[in-house]
């Protein structure tokens, strides 16, 4: 399995205001979104990453951009839409750390990202990246016309030898129906170099009943490198005709599973870009995810980041 070569990375999607409900009913405010969470952790791991999205012209959007810059994320590809506000979501967790989300996002400016006067600038910028990272949630943000423009861009990136990495995150409520979702996933998988998938996502999308079904689905689509996340903790790497199981150490005290998959993806991609094998990259993804689930919210403190995730001599 050849390592991924990438120097400039674009993460594409939506960032929302995040409210986290504490055990006493009080709320804390932050920000998050699946691909934004991944971008933050990529930047912390030393990758040159830009975030591609649209925000409003409000103070919350200003605050987000300032926070992303402090994290080292490039913001030159963030469009601002007048008289709009970013979406918002609330996280509630049960006694086992499992989370429940409530959303207010139907009018979020990112939904217009591929239908603005500046859209052609975004398309041109995306074509220049070495690696483009997006998710199933990203696909659900846009209507048919917007997705078509997005697909044309990522197909050009893939066609010229750039890398496209896709996280299967499937949320049924984001789609008008499963027929539209399946068509979008079919086209996305066909131009993806690496897919991070879960049985849960494809069970909801396609009715896949197990890991073998998901692997067959991805291989039939021509995906060269598949990472299928498993329960109990672990993943199956499928590439070059081989399957390798990479188990994760159990986490005794799970506080909040928010961004576990997003952080895994960041460490996986970062390790592959540094020259690690897919197996070693998965081990590092598990390490970061294990740290993330020990904290509340999507983004953990910098002080809680595991050390030595990217040691050159180890990779």
Q: Which one from 50, 193, 201, 262 is the annotated catalytic residue?
A: 262
Report the C-alpha gap between 287 and 210 in whole angstroms: 25
Q: At what angle do helices 144-159 and 178-190 cross, to 10 degrees?
A: 20
Residue 13 burial (CB < 10 Å; 0-12/13-18/19+)?
Answer: buried
262 included as an active-site residue: yes
> How does 150-183 read in b/e, with b if 16+ C-beta sit within 10 Å?
bbebbeebbeeebbbbbbbbbbeebbeeeeebee
131-135, strands of its sheet edge to edge:
78-80, 49-55, 9-12, 131-135, 163-167, 194-198, 225-230, 234-239, 242-247
What are the catalytic residues?
Answer: 262
């Amino acid at each position: 399995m050849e390592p991924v070569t990438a120097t400039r990375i674009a993460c594409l999607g939506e960032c929302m205001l995040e409210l986290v409900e504490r055990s006493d009913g009080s709320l804390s405010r932050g920000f998050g979104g699946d691909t934004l969470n991944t971008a933050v952790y990529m930047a912390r791991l030393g990758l040159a990453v830009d975030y591609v999205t649209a925000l409003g012209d409000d103070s919350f959007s200003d605050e987000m951009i300032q926070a992303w810059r402090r994290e080292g994320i490039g913001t030159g590809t963030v469009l601002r839409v007048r008289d709009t506000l970013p979406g918002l979501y609330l996280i509630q967790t049960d006694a086992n750390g499992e989370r429940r989300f409530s959303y207010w996002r139907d009018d979020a400016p990112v939904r217009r990202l591929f239908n603005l006067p500046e859209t052609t600038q975004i398309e041109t910028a995306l074509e220049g990246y070495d690696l483009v990272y997006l998710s199933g949630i990203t696909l659900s943000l846009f209507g048919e016309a917007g997705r078509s423009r997005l697909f044309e861009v990522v197909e050009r990136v893939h066609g010229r030898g750039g890398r496209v990495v896709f996280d299967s995150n499937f949320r049924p409520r984001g789609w008008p129906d499963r027929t539209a979702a399946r068509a979008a996933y079919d086209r996305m998988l066909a131009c993806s170099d690496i897919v991070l998938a879960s049985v849960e996502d494809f069970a909801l999308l396609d009715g896949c009943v197990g890991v073998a079904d998901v692997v067959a689905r991805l291989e039939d689509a021509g995906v060269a490198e598949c990472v299928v996340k498993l329960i109990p903790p672990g993943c199956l790497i499928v590439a070059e005709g081989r399957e390798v199981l990479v188990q994760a150490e159990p986490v005794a005290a799970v506080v909040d599973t928010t961004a576990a998959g997003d952080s895994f993806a960041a460490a996986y991609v970062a390790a592959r870009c540094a020259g690690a094998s897919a197996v070693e990259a998965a081990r590092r993804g598990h390490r970061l995810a294990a740290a993330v689930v020990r904290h509340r919210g999507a983004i953990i403190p910098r002080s809680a980041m595991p050390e030595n995730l990217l040691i050159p001599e180890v990779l």
